[in-house]
Structure 1
Amino acid sequence: MSVRVVVADDHELVRTGFRMILNAHPDIEAVGEAADGAEAVSVAHRLRPDVVLMDIRMPRMDGLEATRRLAGPGVACPVKVLMLTTFDLDDYVYEALRAGASGFLLKDLRRDDLVNAVRVVAAGEALIAPSITRRLISEFARRPRPPAKTPPPLDSLTAREREVLVLMARGQSNAEIAATLVIGEQTVKTHVSNVLAKLLLRDRVHAVILAYEVGLVRPGTP
């Protein structure tokens, strides 16, 4: 079945371009579009797409607020949101992920990367551009966040799962974690799934944020 996508951007040419790129692939269908955040929420509720491509800066309601209403904490039936922006700013990245976004990419990405990102997010995975992962970690190093009021039960993790969580927080991919720990990549995927399940996290992006917030990983340490 096709991955159904809604494109939300206040520039008509951008929306048209994204739709043309996505519709060129038989497994993806751009089913709707929106010119601002409020319209994005309305269209997404009506069409229930698999993924919403969401710009950040839009009139009436920005992409961050729209994402909170579609995928934020307490949303009964969240929609997967993939943020796309020209603004590589720390606060945008952090707030987008806290709002419930499953991915954050810059608009200067190649068309193949855009298509792959939609597929990855639709499959339930999280995706952040490598440069943005570095910026996210840098944000914690520059302005550390206080620990969460109620830390999750990290004791439920095995020693190996804690190792995997730490390496995830360092921005390593599954392949890099496998090489670091000298284990198979499929084994890494199993550990990642266990970490998310035990800590009641939706995806690895939020696992990275949590690892810093509870002090499991400290900014600036090797």
Structure 2
Amino acid sequence: MKTWNVMLVDHDRLFSAALATLIGGGPFRVSAHAASADDALDLIADGDEPDLIVLALQDGMAEEIAGIRRLRDGTSARIAVLADTIADRSLSQSLKAGADAYLNKSMSSESLLRALRLVMLGEVVYPTHVAGLLMAAVNERPAPVPIAVPPSGDLSKREVQILRCLLAGQSNKAIARNLHITESTVKMHFKNVMRKINAQNRTQAAVWAIQNGLSPLVTA
């Protein structure tokens, strides 16, 4: 069985210990604890780089959002944010900073473990209403008129469809089924899209799509 090393980042040692007990075993092995993103980066610099970082977020504090960004720049590990509440501001900021998942501490243990497995399989995981929250946040700002494609017009119609499916929270398999193409074709389109919009991961691609006026694609 594939095993992934997990680093927990939270100043609350009691919560970290409980979380370690919850997710330990199976495919996950909690290998390190850190009180902050900077402490986590110190551990990584010492050679203790995990496969997955689970970072507890309290009320979308600015320093913690900045910490996500520093972690994204300093490690190739997947990053899952575990938040006290689903707040539109902290959610959008976390995704923009490079988090691969935004999860709620109130979710069931089964749902949490399932979400973390999806993260390690390359998926971006967030609440189903995340697209609506992010779009509302974007629409509340006096932003310029949104565009559906980059100024160069490089995105094809299919690539725009792929991004809209991503906003709907669909996996590669679901996108392939709904668009009647193969999963390998979906992956190829994602690779091309991320190159064209300079996104490093699916999270950044989703945020870019929302900021540029795309909406989730509802399929039958």
Q: CA deviation at 1:153?
A: 6.7
| Matched residue, 2:140 | 142
Matched, 1:17 2:15: no
Q: CA deviation at 1:104?
A: 0.7
Q: CA deviation at 1:67?
A: 1.1
Q: Structure 2: where are the runs of 5+ without partners?
A: none
The 1:88–1:40 alpha-carbon spacing in structure 2 relative to 1, beyond 3 Å, is same
| Matched residue, 1:82 | 80
The 1:143–1:187 alpha-carbon spacing in structure 2 relative to 1, beyond 3 Å, is same
| Matched residue, 1:30 | 30
| Matched residue, 2:202 | 204
2:40 maps to amino acid: A
Q: CA deviation at 1:204?
A: 2.0
The 1:185–1:134 alpha-carbon spacing in structure 2 relative to 1, beyond 3 Å, is farther
Counterpart contact for 1:6–1:44, Cα < 8 Å:
no
The 1:10–1:146 alpha-carbon spacing in structure 2 relative to 1, beyond 3 Å, is farther
Could you tell me the percent identity over the aligned residues? Answer: 27
The 1:42–1:110 alpha-carbon spacing in structure 2 relative to 1, beyond 3 Å, is same
1:67 maps to amino acid: I
* 1:23-48 deviation digits (Å, cap 9, x = unpaired): 221x2210011233432332343311
Q: CA RMSD in A?
A: 3.1
Q: CA deviation at 1:88?
A: 1.3
| Matched residue, 1:124 | 122
TM-score normalised to structure 2 length: 0.78
The 1:157–1:131 alpha-carbon spacing in structure 2 relative to 1, beyond 3 Å, is closer
Give the Cα separation in 2 of the matches to 1:91 and 1:138: 10
Give the Cα separation in 1 of the matches to 2:89 and 2:144: 16
Give the Cα separation in 2 of the matches to 1:45 and 1:117: 27
Q: CA deviation at 1:82?
A: 0.7
The 1:83–1:197 alpha-carbon spacing in structure 2 relative to 1, beyond 3 Å, is same
Q: CA deviation at 1:9?
A: 1.7
Counterpart contact for 2:164–2:215, Cα < 8 Å:
no
Instruction: Specify the SS of the correspondent of 1:155.
Output: coil
| Matched residue, 1:53 | 54
Counterpart contact for 1:36–1:61, Cα < 8 Å:
no
Q: CA deviation at 1:5?
A: 0.6
Give the Cα separation in 2 of the matches to 1:97 and 1:87: 15
Instruction: Specify the SS of the correspondent of 1:104.
Output: strand
Aligned residues: 211
Give the Cα separation in 1 of the matches to 2:18 and 2:8: 10
Output aligned runs, 1:40-189, within 5 Å: 40-46=40-46, 47-57=48-58, 62-71=63-72, 75=73, 77-143=75-141, 145-146=143-144, 152=150, 155-174=153-172, 177-178=175-176, 180-184=178-182, 187-189=185-187
TM-score normalised to structure 1 length: 0.77
Give the Cα separation in 1 of the matches to 2:98 and 2:157: 28
Counterpart contact for 1:97–1:205, Cα < 8 Å:
yes
Q: CA deviation at 1:166?
A: 2.9
* 1:90-132 deviation digits (Å, cap 9, x = unpaired): 1101111121211111111222222233333333332212233
Give the Cα separation in 2 of the matches to 1:165 and 1:132: 14
